[in-house]
Chain A
């Protein structure tokens, strides 16, 4: 119809409308898609609606995106194979003797699992079902137990392979390999901080997480014997990450081979049946469809917003505040955190990255506190990984944090939602520190990709 409206009011209408529709319970994908169509019709013309499929089609034919279903499929097969249970069993027997050992074991198993799967759901839920009762039975403080589970499970989306990295790579037109490699150290950093936090707290106050009683511990020979059961998962991790790191094959192919490996692991656990494949396939299909339809809807929404000058508007307003580059970055982190309280990562990524990234590329980051800064060419990579670390908080921040719901769905009844909320707080702070560290010491992010990819 060709109405015209200043961009400020248009932004308010668009994002206000999005908020209202979301509150009314319409799924994210359809909120963004329908608003885009409505606004295109009101402020553009009918002919522009013909562009919609042309915006959707490139995502249907995107090579990198086919890694999303594959990595989810791999996670689903491994979950059906019982790898999660097995890893936890081994790790907790190793660490049972130290204080808070079960909580540390939870985080470490989650870290290992995160190196095999690229999603959060499967790990979080299964670990919740096995590790939480195990900890409660041994008189662990419920809040510490829940917190370790929440934070550990969320690592799945950060440590490569990671579905979030794939989506970011596609949206930001970045090298997927670099992103995956770049998120290794931040992932390990967070994992290390969780273990440290749990251990320190349990050593200060042993009643939070007592060590296993002597009669439940296993001797060293038994421990070594247990290690045999981790050979297959570890080989699988080495295979997938090795393929990505050495660059012998693309991440998509790594996902394909990894899933093939998962089939073999599943068969070796004697759980590979057609029914398993059916269940894993359907779980994958649903998770993928969810991600992709948000892709379709949000790309229309953001596409229209940028077309109407929204990107320049946001850039002008943010830069107009006169903040220094690092101030801008911190402001963005705060915005992401607030969005993370209500939206899930796919929506946040698709809505914010096309708007924020061009702003950051135009800025210079010479470093803070006299530390080394970021090479302008590395900014998209650096921001991508910081974004991914920030999104860890989105999983944990109430009221709408996915991990909180996952855990609640499997926790015993005496664990209330309020208790889960409170248990997440210290770990949210740790994640905040993680984000700050990645900003202050960009080498955590950019060093490894430089080493790995410098030869090419």
Chain B
């Protein structure tokens, strides 16, 4: 198997983070209303490229020939293990052989100096060297064989994938003809209606809508990052097991991405009331009572977010000034990640302002 040496360049990391959500948002819009989930070329080729090794593109099209891929894939995993073992075997036996060579040389020198029993030792060392040599040669042969098998398996799989890349359009077309009806509708978004809803009634206050929109846009933008993680981890695992080449950037890039996501998503979750409250008593109040409670607790809320913005900014500005980057091999820039702390807190603060304005409105309207 060839090895993968791709290291994600820093500029590409940041641009993927910036561009992928935009592409996804565009595709959601474009597909709205006319997607039926039937087999399509995009997914078929996506699965061919990513999981074609185990025949997933065929399974996607409900085509049982996909099972043919599995033994070939297992063969690759097995031969890879074999190659690894053989490589180790070669280096071990080579070390043995070299050390026995040294023994022979030393014994020869001893013979030259006419030491006692040197002849016998030379004979023994030569015997051992010959043995080590045979072992070394055998290990080399073993490695050559393992390499051959691995290459054959890789070529077979490669040919199968190539063949399917050509056959795929026809397969997709036939699958589409077979499946004319879309799948039955599922119950509507249970996960979103599930959380006990204690949302304050939201009177329209001019000028506040933009805050809600800002939280929503940033939230939805970062939500798409999760998709990137799926492919990144998949790449890492496949790289390690199929190509014998782990990466040094997948883990770091992904946990930093999620770190930024947690921070930036706080405001969106607050807007949609998904932060857990203990609303045993809170829920018993009228809308006005709840608004009054909110007004009281908002002091604490603003204390928290305000201090987070302020201290987060001091924390991040040091990093920005130093253009801080991580100490790992990949060495990605750290300062944008730290910068999300004050930004996320500021978004949350803004969202709190939006809520505060509404609460004041509720209290004032009912009271006046």
Contacts and interface: CB of A to CB of B under 8 A. Distances in A.
Main DSSP-derived SS at the A contact region: helix
Interface stretch (B94-102, B106-114, B127-135, B302-310): B302-310
B193 A409 contact: yes
A100 interface: no
Contacts of B305: 30
User: Which of B186, B191, B222, B311 counts the most chain A CB atoms within 10 A?
Assistant: B191
B220 interface: yes
Contacts of B162: none
In which size bucket is the chain A interface? 35 or more
A129 B240 CA distance: 42
Contacts of A343: 278
Interface stretch (A199-207, A270-278, A308-316, A367-375): A270-278
Interface in A43-91: 49-50, 52-54, 56-57, 59-63, 65-66, 69-70, 73, 76, 79-80, 82, 85
Interface string B214-250: 0000011011101101111110110011000000000
A25 B156 CA distance: 63
B346 interface: no
Interface stretch (B83-91, B136-144, B146-154, B255-263): B255-263
B300 A34 contact: yes
B358 interface: no
A197 to B, nearest CB: 26
Nearest to A19: B278
Query: Residue among B260, B272, B297, B337 with the most chain A CB within 10 A?
Result: B297
B37 A271 contact: yes
A35 interface: yes
A281 interface: yes
B261 to A, nearest CB: 7
Contact of A268 (B59, B232, B338): B59
Interface residues of B, number: 96
B37 A73 contact: no
Interface stretch (B5-13, B28-36, B118-126, B203-211): B28-36
Interface string B1-39: 000000000000000000000001001100110011111
Contact of B276 (A24, A27, A53, A249): A27
A260 B265 contact: no
A82 B186 contact: yes
A288 B27 CA distance: 24
Given A61-B255, A121-B195, A260-B51, A26 B301 contact: yes
Listed residue (A121, A255, A288) with the most chain B CB atoms within 10 angstroms of its CB:
A288
A267 interface: yes
B307 A293 contact: no
B234 A125 contact: no
B92 interface: no
A53 B315 contact: yes
B187 interface: yes
A405 interface: yes
B300 A264 contact: no
B177 interface: no
A15 to B, nearest CB: 14
B38 A278 contact: no
A410 B196 CA distance: 11
Nearest to B302: A34
Given A121-B194, A281-B223, A23 B278 contact: yes
Contacts of B60: 264, 267-268
A278 B262 contact: no
Contacts of A276: 37
B211 to A, nearest CB: 17
Contacts of A260: 50-51, 230-231, 233-234
Contact of B296 (A22, A24, A34, A405): A24
Given A29-B275, A69-B258, A257 B237 contact: yes
Contacts of B274: 286-287, 289-290
B179 interface: yes
B290 to A, nearest CB: 7
Interface of A: 21-31, 33-35, 37-38, 49-50, 52-54, 56-57, 59-63, 65-66, 69-70, 73, 76, 79-80, 82, 85, 121-122, 124-126, 129-130, 248-249, 252-253, 255-257, 259-260, 263-264, 267-279, 281-290, 292-294, 297, 342-344, 346-347, 399-400, 405-406, 409-410
Given A73-B229, A85-B186, A260-B230, 20 more contacts: A23-B281, A25-B290, A28-B275, A29-B276, A50-B311, A52-B307, A53-B312, A53-B315, A63-B251, A70-B226, A125-B194, A126-B187, A256-B229, A256-B232, A281-B227, A286-B269, A289-B266, A289-B269, A290-B276, A400-B278
